């Protein structure tokens, strides 16, 4: 449901009525939890359909708004560009979401996107499992890199520094010996994907693969997780699938970088 807005007293500066109305429409779209249709915006603004159409066309032409596949309005490319420059993970998460949804649909399990954050891996996006029994919401949560598949991938490709000192032990299965971890990271580089079984939480298995950006540098990790009992005999299959999907996402990120003229 879209709240109505009162435009009758918006214009405090002479000659700015059209700007005030356009800003009000823009605010409605940006603040909405889902894309808004033309009818939604016309009704909420209380404007004539012709007026709303002209204002929306101007906002769309200037990349402040754009339309999705159904024709509904969402924030435009300028917002995405701002996010990419000032909060790049937010934009990466937005671009990755269709891949997360595809992984969820293909595997039935929870799909994640993780990025380096200081000395840890941060989950910046998640699409929940189709099963009732699933993993918790890890979004915006930092975890010790060596305990998760996402973190191991980022460690393996040196996007996170190898941990100094003693390695935190979360469960009996956590790889806490530096030499053993180093051997595992080498194996991840060779096979192209990482695995964590009961290492962060007992009963939780996760598989992940690297996502590259410009110059082939790893920028994130794409993964799936679920109950160990459900994933135990599927890890090779999931690993191959993640390498494929992470490769497709990497190609898209590179294509967008070239299109935006980023050297």
pLDDT in tens, 29-80: 888 878 899 999 998 888 899 999 999 999 999 989 989 888 999 888 777 6
What's the average model confidence in pLDDT over 229-249?
A: 96
Tell me which DSSP letter residue 192 carries.
S
Say how far apart CA 244 and CA 181 lie, in whole Å. 25
Which of 52, 81, 110 is the last residue before a domain boundary?
Answer: 81
Instruction: Return the CATH number at 42.
Output: 1.10.10.10
Instruction: Give domain status of residue 11, yes or no.
Output: no
Q: Is 83 left (phi over 0), alpha (psi -120 to 50) or beta?
A: alpha
Residue scoring higher pLDDT (100 or 217):
100
pLDDT in tens, 84-102: 555 556 777 888 999 999 9
Confidence bin at 139 (pLDDT 50/70/90) = confident
Say how far apart CA 20 and CA 1 lie, in whole Å. 22
pLDDT in tens, 115-125: 988 888 888 89
Instruction: Give domain status of residue 186, yes or no.
Output: yes
Domain that holds residue 155: 87-259
What's the average model confidence in pLDDT over 147-175?
A: 93
Say how far apart CA 4 and CA 237 lie, in whole Å. 50
Q: Could you list the beta-strand ranges (E) of 187-240.
A: 194-197, 204-212, 218-227
Instruction: Give domain status of residue 6, yes or no.
Output: no
pLDDT in tens, 147-157: 999 999 999 99
Query: Residue 262: its pLDDT value, please?
Result: 42
Query: Residue 81: its pLDDT value, please?
Result: 60
Query: 50 and 31 in contact (C-beta within 8 Å)?
Result: no
Residue scoring higher pLDDT (127 or 78):
127
Say how far apart CA 20 and CA 64 lie, in whole Å. 15
Query: Residue 227: its pLDDT value, please?
Result: 95
- Residues 52 and 94 reside in one and the same domain: no
Please say if the pLDDT value at position 11 is more than 90.
no
Which of 62, 81, 100 is the last residue before a domain boundary?
Answer: 81
Query: Residue 87: its pLDDT value, please?
Result: 56
State phi, psi for 254 to the nearest 5 degrees.
-65, -40
Of 129, 121, 125, 95, nearest to 112 by C-alpha is 125
- Residues 215 and 110 reside in one and the same domain: yes
Give the bridge partners for 144, in sequence order.
Answer: 120
| Total number of domains in the chain | 2
Q: What percent of the chain has pLDDT over 90?
A: 54
Which of 55, 81, 107 is the last residue before a domain boundary?
Answer: 81
């Amino acid at each position: 449901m879209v709240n109505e807005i009162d435009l009758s007293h918006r214009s405090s500066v002479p000659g700015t009525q059209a700007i005030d109305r356009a800003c009000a429409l823009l605010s409605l779209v940006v603040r909405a939890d889902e894309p808004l249709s033309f009818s939604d915006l016309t009704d909420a603004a209380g404007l004539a359909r012709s007026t709303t159409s002209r204002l929306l066309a101007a906002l769309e032409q200037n990349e402040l708004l754009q339309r999705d596949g159904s024709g509904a309005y969402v924030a435009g490319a300028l917002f995405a560009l701002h996010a990419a420059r000032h909060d790049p993970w937010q934009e990466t998460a937005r671009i990755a979401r269709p891949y997360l949804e595809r992984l969820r649909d293909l595997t039935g399990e929870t799909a994640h996107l993780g990025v380096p954050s200081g000395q840890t891996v941060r989950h910046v996006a998640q699409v929940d499992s189709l099963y009732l029994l699933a993993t918790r919401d890890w979004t915006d949560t930092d975890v010790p890199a060596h305990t998760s598949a996402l973190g191991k991938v980022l460690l393996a490709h040196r996007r996170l520094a190898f941990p100094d000192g003693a390695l935190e032990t979360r469960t009996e299965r956590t790889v806490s010996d530096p030499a053993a971890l180093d051997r595992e990271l080498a194996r991840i580089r060779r096979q192209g994907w990482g695995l964590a079984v009961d290492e962060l939480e007992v009963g939780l298995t996760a598989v992940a693969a690297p996502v590259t950006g410009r110059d082939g540098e790893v920028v994130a990790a794409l993964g799936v997780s679920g109950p160990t009992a459900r994933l135990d005999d599927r890890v090779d299959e999931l690993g191959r699938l993640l390498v494929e999907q992470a490769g497709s996402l990497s190609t898209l990120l590179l294509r967008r970088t070239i299109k935006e003229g980023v050297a």
